[in-house]
Amino acid sequence: MTIVILAIAVFWLAYSNGANDNFKGVATLYGSGTTDYRRSLALATLATAAGSALSLLLASRLAVTFAGNGLVPPDLASDRSVLIAVGAAAAATVLVATLVGMPTSTTHALTGALLGVSLAAGGDQAPIGRLWSVFFLPLLVSPVLAVIAAGVVYPAMRAARQYLGVTSETCVCLASEEAPAIVGSAAPGDLAPYYGARAVRLAIAPAHQCTGRYAGRIVGFEAQAAVNAVHYASAAAVCFARAVNDTPKIAALLLAGSLAGGGYAALGLVAAAMAAGGLLNSRRVARTMSRRITELNTGQGLTGNLVTAALVLGASQIGVPVSTTHVSCGSLFGIGVVTGAARWRTIGAILLTWITTLPCAALLGAAAYRAWTQFGGM
């Protein structure tokens, strides 16, 4: 019975992770008007699946880190009651944030749940030294690095664009539509000759629907086409990097509980659940990431994605559990500060979510462990 419940807890966690995180890599594509929500989501799903498939090769050390090593007593690290409580607590924390449209960190939620379960399982003292060096420090430093990096990289890229003679323009789009237009005489009551004429309609749209474009050429290519191509690639890279970093953390619960027959079976289950969460429940977080943090054009979105992908992939390679949420939001914060378009109320709400994620997950983890061991352990 514990095997089934552990599988459900891990599936729930992976689903919640996908709902909150899958769209983050492509949020700049949607927010800058480069493409629409459906195409953005399709790209995110494909890139996430690829990252999950390769995560065991590229970030296997994260599975060890999040198997409870050093955070729960060694004799409990593979206890399914511990793993169930950790998975359920982290899943509930992430899902609540998703339902209110706030991007949060699965890494933070897992760390908090591990800590809460550790204390509830009889750990006399939390391993503060390990918590600080392996978990808290990367989580605190990574968004700051992202803000700084975006604040430096975006002005540099803008200066390079200007040096190459590429200008930024704002396009006004005219929509054409079929409408009855009287262009001559006809028999009374006969309107057929007048349908099919093209009428032009000019509409005033919200600021985020205005389209910014680049005019000029970069290394022989039309500037806007080149920026769009790299923007798509960078969005896919962020989704790929996030899956590489997050999948082993979740799969670790299965591997520690000896549930999956091997690493690839665990990754397959996690990847499928992450994809389902992203496809079914990502719209609210997508709206926050794409439209409510700062206004974006394609160049700014590209910068945010490049910074995020570089930091997350680098951290995954060395086994450091950074949060893709913190890094991607940090890069958007940095761009908003540089451009003066940051929406501080939304940023404040996101920061409050980050602050409360870990203690909420810890409390839920402790409560879930006590409830399971007292009433449900089978």
DSSP 158-182: HHHHHHTTPEEEEEPPEEEEE----
The string of pLDDT tens digits covering residues 275-298 is: 999 999 999 999 999 999 998 888
Q: Please, which pLDDT band fits residue 321 given cuts at 50, 70 and 90?
A: low
**For residue 257, pLDDT beyond 60:** no
Contact 14/277 with Cβ under 8 angstroms? yes
- For helices 324-339 and 344-371, angle between their N-to-C axes, nearest 10 degrees: 170
C-alpha pair distances (Å), 262 with each of 49, 160, 250, 254 = 18, 48, 14, 9
Q: Is 301 exposed, middle or buried (0-12, 13-18, 19+ CB in 10 A)?
A: buried
Please state the domain extents for the chain.
Answer: 2-166+225-376, 171-214
Buried b (16+ CB within 10 A) or exposed e, 285-298: bbbbbbbbbbbbbb
Residue 211 pairs in a beta bridge with 171
Contact 331/147 with Cβ under 8 angstroms? yes
Average pLDDT, the chain: 79
What pLDDT does residue 336 have?
94
According to the per-residue pLDDT averaged within each range, which of 91-95, 206-210, 369-373 is highest?
Answer: 91-95
Least confident of 69-83, 295-309, 323-337, 352-366: 69-83
373 secondary structure, DSSP code:
I
Q: What are the residues whose beta carbons fall under 8 Å from the beta carbon of 241, sequence distance 6 or more? A: 25, 51, 308, 309, 312, 313, 316, 324
What pLDDT does residue 168 have?
66
Q: What are the residues whose beta carbons fall under 8 Å from the beta carbon of 207, sequence distance 6 or more? A: 295
CA 309 to mean position of chain CA atoms: 11
Q: Name the residue among 17, 36, 16 with its Cα closest to residue 27.
A: 36
What pLDDT does residue 147 have?
94
Q: Give the span between the Cα atoms of 319 and 296, in whole angstroms.
A: 32
Amino acid at site 97: A
Strands 221-222, 198-202: pairing is unpaired
Contact 253/86 with Cβ under 8 angstroms? yes
The string of pLDDT tens digits covering residues 103-142 is: 998 888 988 888 888 888 776 555 555 566 656 676 678 8
Tell me which of 184 and 130 has the higher pLDDT. 130
Q: Give the span between the Cα atoms of 235 and 193, in whole angstroms.
A: 48
Contact 56/248 with Cβ under 8 angstroms? yes
pTM value? 0.78
What pLDDT does residue 74 have?
59
